[in-house]
Structure 1
């Protein structure tokens, strides 16, 4: 049943701006670093002469948590608004599909869209590095993948919470405001304790044990997801 709901949701998101957001995040980050390195090329290549790829990745990594939180917030909100704006919840939930299947289908679409954005960031990072002339050094493919997907796993609690709030409320002011606030606060995540989930996407890149924070994000994301699905299954919708 969930796959039926999933296929229907794929059709609904066409022309809703979601794919634009998927491309906007990684393209924006890469354009910013392309401009950064382009304007200060001699200085930065001299600074990172021994590890040009590492320098590029470290500059990108500072903004990945912001992009994940903001992008996840907007994707969840737009995905929920497909039903809210059309006032189609009652018709959708009247179909012979369980509410849990509807919730999980929307979660999968949200996660897939953000995953595509992370994949584009990894591919684009390699392309940008080659354009900047870093091809003389071997491409650290493991780190290139980690910069997007390790932080993505660590950000799952916030993305799951955003989807829960977005689907539960017709008024998107609260989830969007919360997402914007968390995005801005993530810029100062280095000052937060490692026990604060907001800091996990940054720690998933910068620490010697990134898997620990990625794994914690996956686990907490699941713990947030379960009550969200139960609440959605029991909530009256308009």
Structure 2
């Protein structure tokens, strides 16, 4: 299992305010890695740095052995990294079908795009039921399935998920969690998961990093962190 993504001593600022203070994390091929921590800790800033949406001040970011520090977001998508942003950003007036096809905008292989579309609809049967429906009329959980499916249409090797459970009904949170596990295990897509629902994140990932004030506070095996007293007190609200 080789290294797929590596951040080393990454520093990132918003104007003159530190967002990341020397963050180092790794994602190996085939892994699901979770980033947990309080709101404002810097988790989403890590994803923005990886995707080229925010330039870093110093440090390095390498993907599949290549430096992507200076690469633009479109180049990074073509290299095999897709992100599901926080907030379920669908195109509300467009159909489910057209939203999904927007995820394949960098691809020209029409026959394989159709295969990807069929795969996504098989992964999320509810999207097949809503195929011609305007995305803005769907529930929050259905929209979350849609934006994950749209990201998969880019055929990524690495999927970045930013708070996929935020504002979702508990029943659908379970469905989203099962989908993430299936995407990783069955579709062979590596996953970097940013999540305030730390219990869920630790249960579906292999490794995790706890982020606090722009730094890595703790890291290790997810099952072990789930039982770590420091993680329980800081991120899980006491006993699990």
TM bucket (normalised to shorter chain) is under 0.3
Structure (1 or 2) with the larger CA radius of gyration: 1
- Of Structure 1 and Structure 2, which has the larger fraction of its residues in strand? 2
> TM-score, normalized by length of structure 1?
0.25
